[in-house]
Structure 1
Amino acid sequence: MLDSVVRYGTVSRIVATCAVVRPITCLLAALSAACGGYFTSDPSGLAWDRGVLSMVCMAGLMGVANAVNDIVDFPSDRVSKPQRPIPSGRVAIPTAWSVVTALAILTVTTAAALGLAEMLFAAVLLVLAFAYSYRFKGTVLVGNLIVGVVSCGTLLFGSTASGRMTLSSCLAAGFILLFVVAYEIVKTLQDRDADSAVGLRTLATKYEPGVSVAAYTAVATILCSAALGVGARVSSEPSSYVVFLVPCLIAPVCSCAYILRSWPDRDRSTARSLLILRLAWFPGLVSLTLLK
């Protein structure tokens, strides 16, 4: 593998190393932390320095989670996703571990600067990220739930760092948890063949695809019902909340359920659903700020 790394230029290797941490998801984690801080108090009372530190911390955390996941996925990615930075040879595994170490240090030090509670919170999220890749990735739904917990934890971390958790921030985190679990169910369905080849036991590899589709539909139904029913009651501006929530979150989630259940081409339906859910992540997060 080292020989293949040498073939690539410096710029290509730098770009590939950045790709290992998946900058877009790191940015989304930072924005999720900012969203959590937004729920704590009125803008004039917000501690912007703590908010920025929480965003940097959660971006680092997500970078660690992504890089470790790519390292652990190397055997299966060689078969199903050879274009990724590590299996393609653009990034050596020792280099990826160096990135993980640097980002882990960044995460812990920025969390420590915020306080003991924040440092412990970040440490728990880091442990969960490692536990997912090394122990729970090959489980039925448990791994999906852990990814959801880490993702919604970024918002709760922002609330903790900027003040305190509120009912609105807890509800928003709950909706993120359900959204990410639904996304992960579809993702394991897409990765079914590769996961099966390396012996991973997931909902998609253990059961027929229809079971994963039913599980996604069930989680999506709970998410939409809770976001509309409970969220509208909590929001101080329920009309605006619903107006933004329906096109930004409800419609994409429901359209994916329709696609997964009605399109006969399983590969095409899962790919399209994942694209829709990825595109819905940011506008959906923005719409949840109206829970305040």
Structure 2
Amino acid sequence: MGDDYGMRAKALAFIRIVRPIPAMAAAATVWIGAGLAGRDQGAHKPEVVLLSLMIFLAVAVANAYNDIRDVSADLFNGRPRPIAQGFLSMTQAWVVLAVCLASSLVLAAAVSRRVFVTDLALVAGSLVYSWRAKGTVLIGNALVAGLGSVPLLLGAKAAGTPVDRIIVGQLLIFTYMFGYEVLKSLRDAGGDTAAGYVTVATRWGERTALAIWLLLVISFIVLTIWCGVSLHPGWSYFALMIILVDGLLAFVSMRVLMQRMSVSRAVSFCTVAWLPGLLAIGRIG
């Protein structure tokens, strides 16, 4: 009985280290980008399928390396990460990373040389974030936000999406992800301080980090309203983005500002809010 439990726990740890939900969200962003070209255009191309799988694995690489680098911070913060909890060894984590990296690059090469170089740059950027850029003030947050917008660009280019829609979609993703990363730095301030990381929360203080997050939330809401007014995306965009996403962001922001909601819970709410946000971005096509 104990052996069966241990095997299940080990198998679950191999899945958890790649953080499949964020990886699937990034893969879905490729389809969102392709869908911006129009309902009957390139979203069903085999290239889009390969790109989405490639992005899933590239994000899995980033997540595995983040767990490898952040063991001390995860232990301090009590984060339920496989290495920090002792379910995976460092060697096993590196094996997962290597397999995902090789698989992602093979898929990228199957699409084109340009995509292979892009995938390599994406992975390198994500590794640099965990290795060096995370210990910076805002630069690392902006880097993650920029990397998070690339899957939409890849899908959009594969499907022939007009440039203006690509720019709008990437702006929405970048602004939301930038704020989300700043909010996470607030949540992780204690562990980051213990690990010696220099973030916006540890360098400038939690009040300043909170003010920056609120500014980014306001910027995102203004941008979503502008998109709704100028691009005429339809009622579904307003239902998903303006009501669900913006409404939840406004609610969470007020609760955090009034100290009636923890930052950790706010991060969870913002994670959930991004799902209808992605669907809403797909409606601007």
Q: Same fold (TM over 0.5)?
A: yes
Root-mean-square deviation (CA), in Å? 1.9
2:281 maps to 1:284: no
Correspondent of 2:245 among 239, 246, 249: 249
The superposition leaves residues 257-280 of structure 1 with CA deviations (integer Å, 9 ceiling, x where unpaired) of 21221116xxx4202211110111
Aligned to 1:185: 182
Correspondent of 1:163 among 160, 163, 184: 160
C-alpha distance in 1 between matches for 2:248 and 2:104: 32
Correspondent of 2:151 among 154, 161, 177: 154
Unaligned runs of 5+ in 1: 1-5
In structure 2, relative to structure 1, the CA distance for the partners of 1:108 and 1:160 (3 Å cut) is farther
The superposition leaves residues 3-36 of structure 1 with CA deviations (integer Å, 9 ceiling, x where unpaired) of xxx9972221111011000011111011111101
Unaligned runs of 5+ in 2: none
Correspondent of 1:208 among 205, 210, 217: 205
- Normalising by structure 1, what TM-score? 0.91
Superposed displacement of residue 250, structure 1: 1.0
Counterpart of 1:243, as a letter, is A
Counterpart of 2:6, as a letter, is G
Superposed displacement of residue 222, structure 1: 1.0
Q: Percent identity?
A: 25
Correspondent of 2:265 among 272, 277, 286: 272
Match runs of 1:121-160 below 5 Å: 121-160=118-157
Decide whether the 8 Å contact of 2:51 with 2:108 is kept in 1: yes
Q: Secondary structure at the match of 1:137?
A: helix
Superposed displacement of residue 221, structure 1: 1.1
The superposition leaves residues 25-62 of structure 1 with CA deviations (integer Å, 9 ceiling, x where unpaired) of 11101111110111134425444311111110110111
2:13 maps to 1:20: no
Aligned to 1:263: 259
The superposition leaves residues 129-174 of structure 1 with CA deviations (integer Å, 9 ceiling, x where unpaired) of 0110001011111111111111111111222233356321221121
Superposed displacement of residue 230, structure 1: 3.5
C-alpha distance in 1 between matches for 2:242 and 2:233: 17
- Normalising by structure 2, what TM-score? 0.93
Aligned to 1:3: none
2:22 maps to 1:43: no
Decide whether the 8 Å contact of 2:245 with 2:273 is kept in 1: yes
Counterpart of 2:251, as a letter, is S
C-alpha distance in 1 between matches for 2:205 and 2:178: 18
Q: Which has the higher contact order (CA 8 A, sep 6+)?
A: 2
